[in-house]
Amino acid sequence: MKFSLASALVLPALVSANDVREIHQARQAPASASASASAPATTAAGTTPAAASAVSLTFTLASTNPTALPLSEIASGASTQPTVAATTTFAGGTAPTFLSSAPALPDISTILPSSYPTLDKTPPTDSDEVKAWKEEVASSGITIPDIAPTVAGGCPANLDAVADTSRCWWTCTGCAADDDVSECPDKMTWGLTYDDGPALYTGNLLNYLDQQKLKATFFVVGSRAISYPALLQEEYMAQHQIAVHTWSHPPMTTLTNDQVIAELGWSRKIIKDVLGVTPKYWRPPFGDVDNRVRAIAKALGLQTSIWTRISPQATFDTGDFDIAGGLTSSTQVLNNWENIIGNATTIDTGFIVLEHDLFQQTVEIAMDYILPDALAHQPPFKIEPIISCLNQPLGNAYVETSDNSSSSSGCQCIMCSWRPTTDFICSERLWCAEHGW
């Protein structure tokens, strides 16, 4: 287990994509800042919401987008800007030629929303699909720790769980498992990620990334994937990495084992139904993960991926999610970004930052300010998807195209027809033998 440098501080409820959820999430602040768990609640801006608009920019940006909106217009309740729909519609059977042995794209016109759970709600656990995924977990050989779910209310409502070091609860203690992906190994490498889409403004972001020849990892919410399948195909065919971000975006440690399985299984399924490939990486909403949730994800073939955290006050979270809800300002988000890159240049590894493509405001702050500033940074950052920053080929992001080179032990892991075989044990994990993939 790996722990952050200090104890976590308590922060207020966040506005999620669908409703207000009480959840703890450490936010970015200068590495020298300090706070106690009894400190008054603040927003990601370090201020009360009413004061957020008064925040001033504390640094000079190296570059901005020539067409950037004024920061005052990247705010809660801002005027709606034009959206970019999927620029290319792919016919079923189109071959993803950039990935060796990748299946052809499915025909998304045949996907029936009625065949999937209700959007933005944790799926039922009694469906035939969930029963099959429960069997998959049970037969994986991975032991699921007997840890009770947490309760709503974040860290203050779960003091026993916070004190239980065997739980390794990243959210409230900063504990990361040894194999959690939270940084890139090479210094000055940025693992570029966007959560919660695809959504209305994802197309705008994709256009900008294409113009700048940048690739990213998109952590996809299943309920958004079924709503915008053409955008998801465009992300994939543009050679961005696609990964799982659950079906309805709940705090995962509050769910039962079966609910965790349902959230991951349905998100994994809709991504495969749209793209033809099965992601091998996932990110817990709010970073809310402990050893029980990690083990279930691993049993489903998913590698836990979070973001860089060097102390409770220095997590590499821009706070961009809170602009749309009025909990912070775009100016404060840029100050958070400045603190992130200040810390990033002092650590010995690369880094991963939490950003989102769900809202107009999150996309605008990324395209107009954060990415131009990063591209102009000296010394330069190497900006790439998580799979690339881990020095792995893009094919290793998916079950069907993986060459298994991500296994440091040299043992191979292949999910064979959605079930692992049980040929041998390697590094305390059950791997399955290769079946001609």
Q: Give me the residues paired with residue 431 across strands.
A: 424
Q: What is the dihedral sign for C-alpha 221, 166, 8, 187?
A: negative
Q: What share of the chain is helix, strand, coil (3-state, %, to 5)?
A: 35, 10, 55
Q: Are 29 and 339 in contact (CB under 8 A)?
A: yes
The amino acid sitting at 276 is G
User: Is-contact 290 282, C-beta < 8 A?
Assistant: no
CA gap 308, 202 in Å, rounded: 24
If 0-12 CB within 10 Å is exposed, 13-18 middle and 19+ buried, where does residue 101 land?
Answer: exposed
In the block, tokens 């950052």 appear at 381
Letter for the amino acid at 145? P
Residue 202 and residue 229 in contact, taking contact as beta carbons nearer than 8 Å: no
Q: Which residues contact 403 (CB under 8 A, 6 or more apart)?
A: 393, 395, 396
CA angle 332, 333, 336 (to 5 degrees): 90
Structure tokens at 98: 């950039």
Cβ burial of 184 (10 Å; 0-12, 13-18, 19+) is buried
> What is the signed CA dihedral for 160, 166, 170, 174, rounded to 10 degrees?
90
Number of Cβ atoms within 10 Å of the Cβ of 283:
27
Sign of CA dihedral 262, 263, 268, 273: positive
What span, in angstroms and rounded, lies between the C-alpha atoms of 396 and 423? 21
* Region for 154 from its dihedrals, namely left if φ exceeds 0, alpha if ψ lies in -120 to 50, beta otherwise: left
Residue 362 CA from chain centroid, whole number = 14
Q: Which residues are the active-site residues?
A: 195, 356
Q: Hey, CA dihedral for 201, 206, 211, 214, is it positive or negative?
A: positive
End-to-end distance of the chain based on CA atoms, in angstroms? 33
In the sheet with 193-195, reading across from the earlier edge strand, the strands are 193-195, 217-220, 241-244, 281-282, 303-304
